[in-house]
Chain A
Amino acid sequence: MIRFLDVGYLINCKHKIKQEDKLVVTICVLKVIRHKIKKGLYFFLEKFEIIKDFVKNYYSTISGKRRRRSPKKIAKKMVQLLELKGYADVAFLFRVIARYYIRDLEEHTEKTWLRSSSKVTPINYIVYLYNYFKKQKNYLVFPDKVVNSIRKELQQNNIEIAEIDDKELWLDLDSGTDREDRYQLLCIKKYMRNNGIPEARFLTTDHRLPDTAQPFENIKVEVVDCQA
């Protein structure tokens, strides 16, 4: 049975599926991630002062040494803080930073920060990220860097990336909060039709997705919880 992976699954879960399953990620999923990173970056740069205040407020009561963490741990904490404050778009950006090895960013961080210590203080880390994205307009190419890093990890895990001509799929969709989910489902449907696949499973972390997927009878949605 082919199992397709959705955006939520890709950014929340480690790929520990049984070897006999064929895992597929459609190009549409990567496009959604790219789009969401672009949006997250925009809001991170736009609302930076507010976001910095969240960090200040949260960490001001914690003593100096206890504030210091690895960049990945700070990114994870940022996800919680930002989601709590209703900044889901920026939280997505930090979730991806926490989950994936984004080569250019990791190498730059290593070279700048981690020469002397593996731990940094959160205010330095977010100011560093802010400058990193602004530096030579890095925010323009960062979404592609993210997608390339995810592609690499998928390839290393033998997860197929299905290229699909999606031009009409996105344009045909009306707006709505589940637009990105319906787009992913339409991409899967098209791939199945093109490859004569009668039935498939769709792995997601989104509890609302089974409702959205109801009209797609031959795509069975499996909700998994792998954030813990």
Chain B
Amino acid sequence: MAGEAAVAVGLGAFVEEYSTQRVNELIHLYRRLQQLRRRILQEVEEEAGEDVAEIIPNIVTAIRQYATEIEEVLAELRRLGADPMKASLESAVEEYAEVLRLDIPVGGGKTLEDLLYESRDEVLDKLHEIMMALYMEYVEINEKCDHGCPPEAAQKLEKLATLELATYAIYKLFQKQKIDKKTAVTALNEIVDEILSE
């Protein structure tokens, strides 16, 4: 019986514990990045108030403010053998591909796809356009970054990252009724154009 107990707790223990520990270390660091992102977004949202034109400059400032903390996390990720830029890009491609399947339930037995066909919500339409534009760009850049990102691709990623944060900030301002629908749609429209520009 003791033998069976040993097998139950010991078989596969090393490989499982080793990989769990590694995944946990990575998850912890990604959670830390997520917390920093949330703080940045919160600050951007508070400082922008009703002025959407302030969002992008505020994002750039906030990222600079948190640069040291972000760098520390990135250094830790690299120490564990991860390539943070490649990992972020690959996960963005996967996440957008998943969301753009449009089968996410949105309540009331409906999916995001149903909502897009049935509603006449201009903000939702613009968000869909942005998701598509980002997905198209990320897929393209991901191919270019197969063996390390060339400088122009890295530069484009930086721009897209800022625009992605700006999209969320605009959406939150609209949700909290700090800006009206027309302002939100105009701002989101400019973001799509910017994503798809050179």
Contact = CB atoms under 8 A, between A and B. Distances in A.
Interface string A116-148: 100001011001101110111000000000000
Interface string B83-125: 0000000000000010010110000000101101110100001
B139 interface: yes
Contact of A134 (B116, B135, B196): B196
A52 interface: yes
Contacts of A227: none
Contacts, number: 55
B197 A136 contact: yes
Interface stretch (A56-64, A150-158, A179-187): A56-64
A15 B185 CA distance: 47
Dominant SS among interface residues on chain B: helix
Interface string B131-154: 011011001100100000000000
Interface residues of B, number: 26
B164 interface: no
B193 interface: yes
Contact of A123 (B113, B135, B140): B113
B50 interface: no
B55 interface: no
24 contacts: A49-B125, A52-B125, A53-B120, A60-B118, A64-B103, A64-B114, A111-B139, A111-B140, A112-B136, A121-B102, A123-B113, A123-B116, A123-B117, A124-B102, A127-B129, A127-B132, A131-B129, A131-B133, A131-B192, A132-B136, A134-B192, A134-B196, A135-B133, A136-B198
A112 B197 CA distance: 18
